[in-house]
Structure 1
Amino acid sequence: MLRTIPLNDNWMFTKNNDTSHVYEIMQEGQFVTLPHTWNQSDGQGGSEPYFRGQCWYQRKLNISSEDATKRFYLEIGAAGNIGNVYINGNLAGESRCGYAMFRVALTPFLQAGDNLISIMVDNSYHNEVLPLMADFTFYGGLYREVKLLVTDDIHFELMDNGQNGVYLSQQRIGPHSFELTVNGKVRNESSTVQTGEIQIQLRDHDGKTILEASSELTFKDETPFLIRHEVIDPILWDGIEQPYLYSVTVSVIIEGQARDSRNIAIGFRTIEATTDRGLLLNDKPIKLNGVCRHQDFGGIGNAITKAHMDEDMELILEVGANSIRLAHYQHDDYFYSLCDRYGLLVWAEIPYISIPSTKDPENHNAVEQLERLIKQAYNHCSIYCWGVQNEITIAVETEQTHKNIQKLVALAKELDPYRLTVQANINGVADDSIINRYTDLVGYNLYYGWYYGEIKDLNERFDAFHSASLNIPLILSEYGVDTNPRFHTYSPKVQDYTEEYQLLFHHNAIEAINARSFVQGGYVWNMFDFGSANRREGGETGKNMKGLVTIDRKLKKDAFYLYKAYWSKIPFVHLAGRRFVNRHEELNDIVVLSNLNDIRVYVNQVLFAEINSSDAMKVVKDVPLTKGVNSVRVEGTDDQGTVYMDEIQLHYVTEIDQSYILVKEEQTKHVVNWFEKFDLSEAEDIQLIDGYYSTFDTIEDFYRNEAAKSVFLKYFGQFTNSPIFEMTMGVMSIEKMSQLTFYNIPPELLAVINKELNVIPK
C-alpha cells in the first residue's frame, strides 16, 4: 500500500547559487521548514529589493535496509518557477510548471543509509516559462509541502502528471441516473506478471455502500483500466445549498490482498451555460456571485499552510460567494478540496497571461501547465470550467495567438470532455471578435471607472457585447478598484483610493450584473489584497489593493459588507465609513449595509430614521453631527424579531483630516501629455505600404533596423528604462501600446509615426 511521509522539516536553504550544491553538503545557509519562499517580504513591498534568481534547498534522507526493496518517489507540491531535483549528485527530475505538483522517481538513485537531496529553485525570468509578465509577485521557493511516497512494486500510476493515477467522471444519462466512470493505470515495476482485479466501492456521506464493481486484469508494466456503472437517483452536489459528496474507493486486488488503494470524493451534478437563463447548475439558474483569489498572505508570501487556506475559505463563505476564480494559475490541491466540501463553483486556470513567449511560439509550456492542472485537479467536482488564457492579447494578437488558444481548448476537451472551457479577455478585444467563439464561456476583465471610462460604462458594454454576440455566454471575469482603507472623502472619484469610491464602484457592478440574465455572473478582483512586487501606488508599495479584505486578513473593507448584504443569508447590519472618523461637515450621509429590511438608525442615542427596504445599501441622508464625538447606531430586525446591531463613533472637527487624502507625486502637464512636444497639427492617416515599417511591427522589429529604431526612440525613448519594456519588446507594437492607458497615445500621433516609418524598407 502507498505510504505518504511528510518531508517538510530540516531543509537547509541558501541564496548562494553554487553548482557544487548538487553533490556537496552546503556549508552555509539557514534551516527552514516547508512551505517556504524567499520573497515573503520583498515580494510585498519590504525594504529589500525584490529578488529573483536561483536558490538551493538541501536535506538528507535515510533509507533503512528493510525499505531498500520499496519504490520511492518524491512529491513536490510546487517549485516556483523552475525546480531541478538532484539525488546523490544525479539529476532525478525537473519541473518548469511553477504552480503544479510534480514527482521524481528516487529509487534508481538511492542507496541504503543517508542520501543527499538537493533542489535548485529558480524564479528568474525565462522567456519560455510562464508566466512572463503579470500584476502579481512571482514568488520563489518550495512553497508547498514535500512528501516521500513509498509503494510496493504494483501501484497506481504516479508519474502521468496526475494526482493519483485514478480519474472519476460523472455524467447524467437519464432523468434520475448518472454514469460513473472510473479509469486510470496500474504500474507493475516488478519482473513478474500478476493477475488480479480493480475493485470500486461507492459510499454515501454516511459511509453506506451504494454500489460495488470490479474488473479482472493482468498487470504488466503499464495496465490501463476502465469501469463504468450506473448510479440511480444520487443526491446531487448542489453548490453552497447542498454540497453533497460521495466517496469512491478504488483498489488493486491481487490474491485477495489490496496492493494499492485510493479514496476520492465525488459529487454528482450537471453544468450548462446558456444566454437566456444564465449558468445552470443541475438545471437551475445560478448567478455566479464570485470572487477571485491569489494564493498569498501578508508577511508569508505564497508559503501558506492549510490554516491560512481555511481562514480564506471562512472569509469567502462569510461574504456569501458561491463561486471562486482561482487566479491566475494552479492552486494547492487542498483548496480545491475545500471548494468541493463547501460547494463553491471553481474557475481553474493556467498562467498563460499578458504576453506569450517569443522563444516558444508553439506554447509548449502552456500546454504542459494545462495538462498538469487538468490531470491533477480532475477529480474535484467543484471545478466547472478550465481557463486557457487571461488577457493574452494585451500586447499582441496574431494568427499564432489564435492558434495557441484553440490548441489549449482542444487539449482541455481531449483531457476532460465533461467540463466547460473559458477565457478572460482584456477590454480591447472587440465584442464580435472570433476569439470569443473559441471557448464555451467568455470572460471580460473590465475596469470602467478605474483604468478608463466611467463606472456607468459597464452597463453599456454588457449590452453592446450581447447585441454583437447574442449566443455567447458572458462573465465579468475581473472588476475592481485599488482601495487603501486609510483614505476617505465626501466626494469619491477615480483614483482617489478611498473606501467610499470602492463602495460606489462595486454597487454599480453588482446592479449591472444582476439586471442581465445573459451575464452569467462576475468575479470581484480581488477577495484579498495581494503581493505585486513592482507596484508603487495608493500609498503602498508591493501590493495590489483591489481586495475586499487586506492582505493580512485583519481588515474587511466596506465593500466586503456590500457583497455580504447582497449575497449572504446570515442576518447582519454594518455601518460603512467607520474609518472616516474625523468628519468636517455637519450633515453627513450615513450608509447602512444589511440584508435585513427593517432598520432603525440612532444618532447620539436618539432615533433618527426608520427604514423598511430590501436594498442592500441603504443611505440615510443629512445626519447632523454635533461638535466632538458622536455615536451612530443601527439596529436591524429579522422576521423572528431578533435584533442585530452595529455602532460607530464619528468626530465632528473643524478642518479636513489631511491623513485621509492620498498625496500623489506631482505630475506636470509635460509628463502627462508627453506627446505635446511633437507637431500633430498636420497629422493624417496614410495608406500603408507592405514591405515597409509601420506602427503594427513589434518593438523588436524596429530594433533590427537602425532607422526604424531611431524613429521609435524619438517618440518613446522615455519608456524604455524598465524591465517590463525588455520583456514585451518581442510582442508589443505601437498599435498595442496605443490601446493601453498607461502610454496615453493620441490617435494623431500614430499617423505622424506611420508617416516616418512607412518609408523605411524592411
Structure 2
Amino acid sequence: MKVLNLSDKWLFTKENNEFNIEKEIDKAEHVTLPHCFNVIDGQSGEGMFKGECCYQRKLNISNEDINKFIFLEIGAASIICKVYINGQLAGGSECGFSMFRLFINPFLKAGENLISIMVDNRSHDNIYPLMADFSFYGGLYRGVNLIISEELHFDLMDNGRNGMYLTQKNIDKNIFELKINGKLINELSEPKEGKMQFKLIDKEEKIIFSKSLDVKVLNETNFALVEEIVNPNLWEGVENPYLYKLEVELYCENKIYDKKTIEVGFRTVEITPDKGVFLNGKAIKLNGVSRHQDFAGVGNALTKEHMDLDMSIIKEIGANSIRLSHYQHNDYFYTLCDRVGILVWAEIPFISVPTTSDKENKNAKDQLERLIKQAYNHSSIYCWGVQNEITIAIENETIYEMVKELSDMARKLDPSRFIAQANIHSVANESSLNGLTDIVGYNLYYGWYYKEMQDLEKRLDEFHKTRSDIPVMVTEYGVDTNPKLHSYNPSVKDYTEEYQLLFHNNALKTFNERSFVLGGYVWAMFDFGSEIRNEGGEKGKNQKGLVTIDRKIRKDAFYLYKAYWSKKFFVKLAGSRFINRHKELNDIVVLSNLKNIKIYLNNQFISEINTNEPMKTFKDVKLTLGKNIIKVEAFDDDGNIYRDEMILNRVKEIDKSYILLKHEDEKHVINWFEKFDLSNVQEVAIKECYYSTFDTIEKLYENEHAKDVFRKYFGELAETPQFHVMKGLMTIDSMSKRSRFNIPKELLSAINKELNVIPK
C-alpha cells in the first residue's frame, strides 16, 4: 500500500458552474491544501461568503496502478461536499469535520484524470451545526490523499481510520488487557490464506509481546487478539504520557500487503460525583481549556505548525485537559494530546438547535460514528460529548430522546469511555436531561451574561445538593476581553483585561474549593472567528480567549492560569498594557506561582509580599508624573530569582483610548419591555384553537395577525439569522425561560391577551 499526498496543484473558484465538474476550470486561483475560502471574511465581521465552490486537480494514474485498488481520502470538507471523477459523481460527505474515503476505481482511467470537488459552506436544515457562535468556514481544510492498495488490506471503508480498534482495560492491580479488533478486506473473489503479525513495543524498542495469527481472508474477515500486559508503564497524563506502539503487519505468500502502527497508552480514569477525577488512582482536578480550530489569516485550514504552536502554548499554561469544541478536530491534534498527556473531551456539533426536518437525527449520528471510530485509538480521550447547549431554543421530550439515542449509540460504539454533555445554564438541576449521560457539564457565564460572578458557587452547590449522584463540571466560562481596554474599576461588559482577571480568579477559586467539581474548561484558550459578532471593539471575533487569535498576545488572565496550574516558576506583572495611568496611587497586580515577591519603583525597593495566592496585589503604589519603572523579583526555595518589569506613564488626564465608547443603540438595555404598558395586566386563561405564547414562532408566522403581534414585541429579533434557525422550535413561552430575553411574566400575559383572540 502506498499513500500519495495530493496537497498541491489545485485550482479553486467560487464560480458555481456545472461545467467545472466535467472540464478544467479556465479562470481559477492556484491553491495548496489545506485551504479555507473564508480566511478574511470569516474573521472580519463584514459579511461572510457562503456558497458552493469548486476545487479541481488533475491526477495521473499509471498502467500499473490502474489495476490496483484506489481510494481518495479527504481529511475534511466544510460543510458538505460532492466528489466528481472525470465528470461522474463518485460520492460525498455531509460530515464537515470528519475524514472520509471513496473507492474510485470505477471512475478512473489510465493516464490523466480530472478530480472536481464541490464544497458548500451554507447552512442546511438537516446538517449540523445549524447555528452556533463561530464562523462556518468553507474549504478543503485538512488535505487530500490518494491510497493505492493491494487486494488485501485493513478495512478502509468502515468510517474509521485504521481498520482496527484497540481497547485497554485494567483487569487486576498491575495487569492490563489489550483487545485488538478489526476487519480485513479481500478485493478479489477467491479466498486468500494470510498471516497477521502483532508486536507491542515500548519506548526503548523492547518487544513486550509478539504474536502471529493465521487468517483466511474472504471478502470481509474480522480478526481479534487479546493479550495481557503485566506491569506496563502507565500513561500518567502530563506527568508522564508513556506510549507504546503496536505494529500490525498483514502477510500473504511472504509479502507484506498492509501495515499499521498505532500508539497506545495504558491508564485508568475514574470519575465520581463527590470526589472528582482519578487518573490511575490519583486524584486530579481537570484544569482544562477549550479550543476551536481557528487561526488569524488561516481560518480553519491549520497546518501541523499551527497545531504545534497551539499545543506549546497549552503546555506553557499548565493545562492537563482540553475540550476540543464543538466538533471533530484534526487527528494530528489528538495525537499531540496523546504524546503530551492532555486528557481530551471530544465532541460532535450537535449544538444549539436540533433539526426539525429529520426526525431520525441521522446527521448527528453519522458524525458521532465517525468521531468515535476515527479517534477511538487515542489514549488521551476520556469521554465523548454528545450535545452542547442543544436546548437554547426549547427543552422538551423530543430533545431528551435525541440525546438519549446519541448516548446509547456512543456507549455501544465504545463501552470503555464516559459519555458527556454540556448544558446551557437554563437547564434545571432537576431536568431529565441530566440523567442521560455519565458526566454533566454546564456552560456558566455568571457575571457576564447574567447575575453576578459569585453566583457560580451557588449554582454548583445547588446542583450537587439536588443531583448528588451525578458528576458535574463547568464546560464553558469566560468573558470577552480586548487587551487594548483597561479600567481602574473593572465591571461587567467593559471588555477590560482587569475584569477578565477578576472573573477567572473567582472561577478558579470556586473550582478548587469544591472536591465534587471535576474541573472546568475555560472559554476559550484562543480568540476565534465568529461572523455574527461585533462587540468589545472588534468585529467578527469571539474575544473570550486567554490568547489572541493570532497567538501574539497572552492576555493577563493567561498568566493567572499559569500561576494556578504550571509547575514552572515565573513572575508576571499584570497591567503592562495599561501604560498611561492618571491616578497617583495604583494597585500593582503580580501573577506568580512563587510566594515571595519584592517590588521596586524606579529601582527603589518599596514592599514585599509573602503569600501562596496566585494573584497578589501591592496596594497604593505612588507614581510620579512621567515615566515610572516597575520591577518585581520572585524567589524559589533554592535561591533562584525570577524577574519582570514594566513601564507606566503617570499622566494628568484619563486616556480615553482604554474605554470602549458604546453608541446608544449598542448599550445593553436591561428593561427593554418598559416601552409597553404592563400596568393592570391580568393573567389570561388560554383558549384552545386560538394562538398563544405556547405556539412556535413558525406557527405564529402562518397567520398575518399573529405574526404582527410577535413583531410588535420582538421585531429586532425577527431580523436575525439565528431567529430563522430557531423559529420552528422556539415559543415565546420558552423564550421567557432564557435570561438573555429578560421577559417578565406580565409581558407574557399582555401578549397572550392579543394572541388568544386570533383563531387558528
Aligning the two structures, in what range does the TM-score lie when normalised by the shorter sequence? over 0.9
Mapped to 2, the partners of 1:196 and 1:661 lie a distance apart of 72
2:83 to 85, 94, 98: 85
**1:392-407 counterparts in 2 under 5 A?**
392-407=390-405
Contact 1:670/1:676 (8 A) holds in 2: no
Q: Tell me the secondary structure at the aligned position of residue 35 of structure 1.
A: coil
Q: How many Å apart are 1:691 and its aligned residue?
A: 4.5
Q: How many Å apart are 1:450 and its aligned residue?
A: 0.4
Mapped to 2, the partners of 1:668 and 1:170 lie a distance apart of 54
2:729 to 719, 728, 731: 731
Amino acid corresponding to residue 685 of structure 1 in structure 2 = E
Say yes or no: does 1:206 pair with 2:204: yes
Mapped to 2, the partners of 1:124 and 1:479 lie a distance apart of 29
Greater Cα shift, 113-122 or 430-439: 430-439
- Name the CA shift for 1:158/1:581 in 2 (closer, same or farther; >3 Å): same
Q: Tell me the secondary structure at the aligned position of residue 667 of structure 1.
A: helix
Contact 1:361/1:400 (8 A) holds in 2: no
Q: Tell me the secondary structure at the aligned position of residue 290 of structure 1.
A: strand
Q: How many Å apart are 1:687 and its aligned residue?
A: 4.0
CA deviation map 1:272-299 (0-9, x unaligned): 1102220111111110000000001011
Q: How many Å apart are 1:756 and its aligned residue?
A: 2.8
Alignment correspondent of 1:460: 458
Alignment correspondent of 1:362: 360
- Name the CA shift for 1:440/1:671 in 2 (closer, same or farther; >3 Å): closer
Alignment correspondent of 2:117: 119
Mapped to 1, the partners of 2:579 and 2:535 lie a distance apart of 24
Alignment correspondent of 2:216: 218
**1:220-239 counterparts in 2 under 5 A?**
220-239=218-237
**1:471-490 counterparts in 2 under 5 A?**
471-490=469-488
CA deviation map 1:233-275 (0-9, x unaligned): 1111010001000011122122233211100000001111102
Mapped to 2, the partners of 1:462 and 1:52 lie a distance apart of 40
1:695 to 690, 693, 696: 693
Mapped to 2, the partners of 1:589 and 1:574 lie a distance apart of 15
Alignment correspondent of 1:76: 74
Say yes or no: does 1:286 pair with 2:298: no
Q: How many Å apart are 1:759 and its aligned residue?
A: 4.0
1:331 to 329, 332, 336: 329
Q: Tell me the secondary structure at the aligned position of residue 78 of structure 2.
A: coil
Amino acid corresponding to residue 207 of structure 1 in structure 2 = E
**1:272-351 counterparts in 2 under 5 A?**
272-351=270-349
Mapped to 1, the partners of 2:65 and 2:428 lie a distance apart of 61
Amino acid corresponding to residue 408 of structure 1 in structure 2 = L
Contact 2:480/2:545 (8 A) holds in 1: yes
Contact 2:134/2:528 (8 A) holds in 1: yes
CA deviation map 1:641-676 (0-9, x unaligned): 111100000001000000000011113999764422
Alignment correspondent of 2:625: 627
Q: How many Å apart are 1:711 and its aligned residue?
A: 2.3
Alignment correspondent of 1:29: 28
Q: How many Å apart are 1:742 and its aligned residue?
A: 4.1
Mapped to 2, the partners of 1:116 and 1:670 lie a distance apart of 54
Mapped to 2, the partners of 1:743 and 1:174 lie a distance apart of 54
Mapped to 1, the partners of 2:757 and 2:213 lie a distance apart of 72
Mapped to 2, the partners of 1:431 and 1:717 lie a distance apart of 32
Q: How many Å apart are 1:709 and its aligned residue?
A: 2.3
Contact 2:490/2:496 (8 A) holds in 1: yes
Q: How many pairs does the alignment contain?
A: 760
Q: Tell me the secondary structure at the aligned position of residue 124 of structure 1.
A: coil
CA deviation map 1:24-57 (0-9, x unaligned): 111111000000011010000165x310100000
Q: How many Å apart are 1:701 and its aligned residue?
A: 1.2
Mapped to 1, the partners of 2:537 and 2:740 lie a distance apart of 19
Q: Tell me the secondary structure at the aligned position of residue 184 of structure 2.
A: strand
Q: How many Å apart are 1:724 and its aligned residue?
A: 1.7
Alignment correspondent of 1:7: 6
Contact 2:274/2:468 (8 A) holds in 1: no
Alignment correspondent of 2:530: 532
Amino acid corresponding to residue 216 of structure 2 in structure 1 = T
Q: How many Å apart are 1:415 and its aligned residue?
A: 0.4
CA deviation map 1:466-513 (0-9, x unaligned): 111111100100000000000000000000000000000000000000
**1:219-618 counterparts in 2 under 5 A?**
219-618=217-616
Mapped to 1, the partners of 2:276 and 2:720 lie a distance apart of 43
What are structure 2's unaligned runs of at least 5 residues? none
Mapped to 1, the partners of 2:434 and 2:739 lie a distance apart of 23
Amino acid corresponding to residue 572 of structure 1 in structure 2 = F
Amino acid corresponding to residue 34 of structure 1 in structure 2 = L
CA deviation map 1:406-450 (0-9, x unaligned): 000001001000000000000000011111010000000000000
- Name the CA shift for 1:198/1:760 in 2 (closer, same or farther; >3 Å): farther
Amino acid corresponding to residue 214 of structure 1 in structure 2 = S
Amino acid corresponding to residue 449 of structure 2 in structure 1 = Y
Mapped to 2, the partners of 1:683 and 1:215 lie a distance apart of 79
- Name the CA shift for 1:464/1:376 in 2 (closer, same or farther; >3 Å): same
Q: Tell me the secondary structure at the aligned position of residue 430 of structure 1.
A: coil
Mapped to 2, the partners of 1:317 and 1:71 lie a distance apart of 42
Contact 1:37/1:142 (8 A) holds in 2: yes
- Name the CA shift for 1:39/1:422 in 2 (closer, same or farther; >3 Å): same
Mapped to 1, the partners of 2:405 and 2:25 lie a distance apart of 44
TM-score by length of 2: 0.98
Amino acid corresponding to residue 362 of structure 2 in structure 1 = H
Mapped to 1, the partners of 2:40 and 2:547 lie a distance apart of 19
Mapped to 2, the partners of 1:690 and 1:385 lie a distance apart of 46
Mapped to 1, the partners of 2:226 and 2:365 lie a distance apart of 29
Q: Tell me the secondary structure at the aligned position of residue 596 of structure 1.
A: coil
CA deviation map 1:502-530 (0-9, x unaligned): 00000000000000011000000000000
Q: Tell me the secondary structure at the aligned position of residue 462 of structure 1.
A: helix
Mapped to 2, the partners of 1:289 and 1:590 lie a distance apart of 27
Contact 1:394/1:736 (8 A) holds in 2: no
Amino acid corresponding to residue 617 of structure 1 in structure 2 = M
Amino acid corresponding to residue 283 of structure 1 in structure 2 = G
**1:175-190 counterparts in 2 under 5 A?**
175-190=173-188
Q: Tell me the secondary structure at the aligned position of residue 68 of structure 1.
A: helix
Q: How many Å apart are 1:693 and its aligned residue?
A: 2.9
Mapped to 2, the partners of 1:427 and 1:46 lie a distance apart of 27
Mapped to 2, the partners of 1:718 and 1:556 lie a distance apart of 36
Q: How many Å apart are 1:721 and its aligned residue?
A: 1.6
Alignment correspondent of 2:159: 161
1:131 to 125, 129, 132: 129
Alignment correspondent of 2:40: 41
- Name the CA shift for 1:668/1:438 in 2 (closer, same or farther; >3 Å): closer
Greater Cα shift, 698-707 or 408-417: 698-707
Amino acid corresponding to residue 699 of structure 2 in structure 1 = D
Q: How many Å apart are 1:226 and its aligned residue?
A: 1.0
Greater Cα shift, 223-232 or 648-657: 223-232
Q: How many Å apart are 1:725 and its aligned residue?
A: 1.7
Q: How many Å apart are 1:746 and its aligned residue?
A: 2.1
Q: Tell me the secondary structure at the aligned position of residue 521 of structure 1.
A: strand
Amino acid corresponding to residue 246 of structure 1 in structure 2 = Y
Contact 2:6/2:145 (8 A) holds in 1: yes
Alignment correspondent of 2:715: 717
Contact 2:291/2:323 (8 A) holds in 1: yes
Q: How many Å apart are 1:212 and its aligned residue?
A: 1.8
Identity of aligned residues (%): 58
Q: How many Å apart are 1:745 and its aligned residue?
A: 2.1
What are structure 1's unaligned runs of at least 5 residues? none
Greater Cα shift, 192-201 or 667-676: 667-676
